[in-house]
Amino acid sequence: MDDSESRRQYAEQIERAAEQRKRDRGVFSDRSKPAEERRMALQSLSALTDEDEVAEAIDNIRDREEDAELRAAALRTISAEVGQRHDLIDFAIDLLRDRTESAVVRLAALRVLQMSSFRVVVFDPKRPEYLDALRTVIDDRNASLREQALEILAQERDEYAQRRLLEGLEDPSQALVPPERAIQMLGYDIHAEHYPILREMVSNPPSPEAKREAVRLLGTDPESKNLLADILKDKRERREVRNASASALQSLAPAEFEEQAKQIVLDDDEYPEIRATAINALTLFADQEALDQDADLSRRVERLREVSPSEVVARTANRFLRRQRRRRERRNRSDGPRGE
Amino acid sequence: MLADRALDKHIPEETFAERVDEVRQSPERRDALVQLLPERISLYDGRSANATIRMRGYILAAFEQTGLPDAALPYVLEELENGRHAYLVAGAARALRGLDTPTSRVVPFLFKAVENIRYIDDALTFESYKPRWPITNYTTALTEIFRTFGWLGTHAKSVLPDLEAMRKQRRDEFSRPIRAEIENASTVLDLTKASLMIVAVPFPRTRAWWSTLCRKSLIRASPSARSNWRIKRSIP
């Protein structure tokens, strides 16, 4: 195909796309058509940036008689424009705040604002209004809106969001989200000093998921070292909680974890998943020189590779031994009779 | 009172806030608040970064009512110069309004604070400790800074061109409410400047000229500028 032919084909493609766009725009503008069809046309348009198109989309968003999904779609198609105009940021914030507005539209407004917040030069002057709206929304009836607003604030390490999350953990009747989600969100800020309540939660968990998340987060709290070690040792504990305690203890007290991991590998009564986690951690993070001197451990791992009924244990044992073999080979090569 | 009872890491924040509020009502005890400003005292041991900010910011803001003792000034200026938390910066800007006499020496610190905080400003309030949203009348760090410019009056007259530049050339960097605050501050400074000029205007032209000028300026100004001006007017 010569250059002129490919240019012609390219021009045709552009022309076809422009015609399609014009048709989609026509469908969206035609209020006599079903909302679903107009919404599909909007989705094909993907983004509206032309002044008239944006104005038409705003008219549709403002019109509460219109289908909520269509209005939300219209809002999404002008998201690029929202990030460039203070008046449209105000408009989206007003939609987000408005409790009488449809949840679909408010969720779309939240998403559009979140995207716009990355355009710092235009958006940052609006930051106080945005944060104020988010803090208002965290008490909303709509759980999804509440959770998304809280998530954004928690990522900002927002004082009010952290305060409300902690209140919810202390008093479940005040909870804005399930405890495990609250713990995850508090985890965004390592300076939040929520460890006392997390330790309390580990002793008296509202749910197994909350306990697992609390254990995971305690991996940054030096005072929780013994608590995590006890959980890891406790065979009556749920396996995912013990696994979480293994990861947490590993980052908090690597030497102590290494010792416990060896005990787990040597213990034939231990659960396969926990054993696999221990072998894996030893393979990747332990003091390899010291491990290679531990003949008893190597023999036990070899045995596990041969006879363990658990595929995951056999696989991790194999990886452990393979790495150990490579290290030995490297050592042998470097210690070899170079001068002979 | 604060000094009588131990305020350490075990004291609940609510008790701490009550004590600060007590000092607000008894400004003669304001020195006790100064002792709570260093971050390394036991009061803040084991508290979260946000709790420490909340407590120190609340103390700083209280100086607006109690008056700002000299010993607290370094902490206030430090927050304005280096602070990156809107609550603390807003508290520090408010604290300056507790100075016995306004001084132009704080102006560079306020400008530094504007640059530090303008991309990370926040909605906040000092009306209560640990407020709950929705808040009907929140303030921001920039709002407090520009109100302090207005409060400085004649001592900040040199900043008028900079405020005008912020309002006009740099208008996109500030939201509409903040531009209104800048305008209020400019109007107050403008009026203060005019009140200095009055000394040079020979009586009897003075009174008529002065009242026209004030009327025109106050019609342009927003309610908060008018209220600021009323306070200013009472200063000889």
Q: What is chain B's mean pLDDT, rounded?
A: 85
DSSP letters, A24-93, are HHHHHH-TTS-HHHHHHHHHHH----SHHHHHHHHHHHH-TTS-HHHHHHHHHHTHHHHTT-HHHHHHHH
Q: How far is A221 from chain B (nearest CA, A)?
A: 12
Residues 93-132, chain A, touching B (beta carbon < 8 A): 120-122, 124-129, 131-132
Query: Quick one: pLDDT band at residue A114, thresholds 50, 70, 90?
Result: very high
Question: Domain extents for chain A?
Answer: 40-156, 160-252, 254-332
In this model, does residue A102 exceed pLDDT 90?
Answer: yes
- Give dist(CA B84, CA B181) in Å, integer: 21
What per-residue confidence (pLDDT) applies to B217?
Answer: 47
| Probe site for chain B from A159, A164, A195 (most B CB atoms < 10 A) | A159
User: Is B134 an 8 Å CB contact of chain A?
Assistant: yes
Contact B60, B99 (CB under 8 A): no
Q: Measured between beta carbons, which residues in chain A are less than 8 angstroms from residue B120?
A: 124, 127
Tokens describing residue A264:
């787990």
Shortest CA distance from A186: residue in chain B: B48
Closest partner residue to B48 (CB to CB) among A132, A138, A192 is A192
Shortest CA distance from A159: residue in chain B: B50
Tokens describing residue B116:
């530090």
Q: Measured between beta carbons, which residues in chain B are less than 8 angstroms from residue A127?
A: 119-122
Exposure pattern of B19-40 as b/e (b: 16+ CB <10 Å)? Answer: bbeebbeeeebbebbbebbeee
Closest CA to A145 of A99, A191, A182, A178: A99
Q: Measured between beta carbons, which residues in chain B are less than 8 angstroms from residue A125?
A: 118, 121, 172-175, 178
List Cβ neighbours of A164 (8 Å cut-off, separation of 6 or more). A138, A150, A174, A176
Q: How far is B190 from chain A (nearest CA, A)?
A: 26
Q: Measured between beta carbons, which residues in chain A are less than 8 angstroms from residue B86?
A: 128
Let me know the angle formed at the C-alpha of B77 by B73 and B78, rounded to the nearest 5 degrees.
115
What per-residue confidence (pLDDT) applies to B13?
Answer: 95
Q: Do B123 and A86 touch (CB under 8 A)?
A: no
What per-residue confidence (pLDDT) applies to A273?
Answer: 86
What per-residue confidence (pLDDT) applies to B229?
Answer: 45
| pLDDT tens for each residue of A17-75 | 889 888 988 889 899 999 999 999 998 887 888 888 899 999 999 999 999 999 999 99
Region of poorest pLDDT, from A83-97, A311-325, B181-195: B181-195
Better-predicted residue by pLDDT, A141 or A190? A141
Region of poorest pLDDT, from A206-210, B117-121, B187-191: B187-191
What per-residue confidence (pLDDT) applies to A129?
Answer: 97
In this model, does residue B2 exceed pLDDT 60?
Answer: no
Q: Do B133 and A192 touch (CB under 8 A)?
A: no
What per-residue confidence (pLDDT) applies to A125?
Answer: 94
In this model, does residue A340 exceed pLDDT 60?
Answer: no
In this model, does residue B228 exceed pLDDT 50?
Answer: no
Amino acid sitting at position A304: L
Contact A191, B77 (CB under 8 A): no
User: Is B144 an 8 Å CB contact of chain A?
Assistant: no
Q: What would the mean pLDDT of A166-179 be, rounded to a whole number?
A: 94
What per-residue confidence (pLDDT) applies to B219?
Answer: 46
Q: Do B172 and A128 touch (CB under 8 A)?
A: no
Q: What would the mean pLDDT of A270-287 be, rounded to a whole number?
A: 87
In this model, does residue A223 exceed pLDDT 70?
Answer: yes
Q: What is chain A's mean pLDDT, rounded?
A: 91
Residue % of chain A over a pLDDT of 70: 98
Q: Do A192 and B123 touch (CB under 8 A)?
A: no
Q: Do B130 and A86 touch (CB under 8 A)?
A: no
Tokens describing residue A118:
């990355």
Question: Cis (ω within 30 of 0) for the bond into B177?
Answer: no
What per-residue confidence (pLDDT) applies to B94?
Answer: 98
CA torsion angle for A167, A171, A176, A179 (degrees, to 10)?
100
Q: Extract long-range pairs of A60-69: CB within 8 Å, 24+ residues apart.
A: A61/A91, A61/A95, A61/A105, A64/A101, A66/A35, A67/A35, A67/A36, A67/A39, A68/A102, A68/A104, A68/A105, A69/A35, A69/A39, A69/A104
Question: Domain extents for chain B?
Answer: 13-233
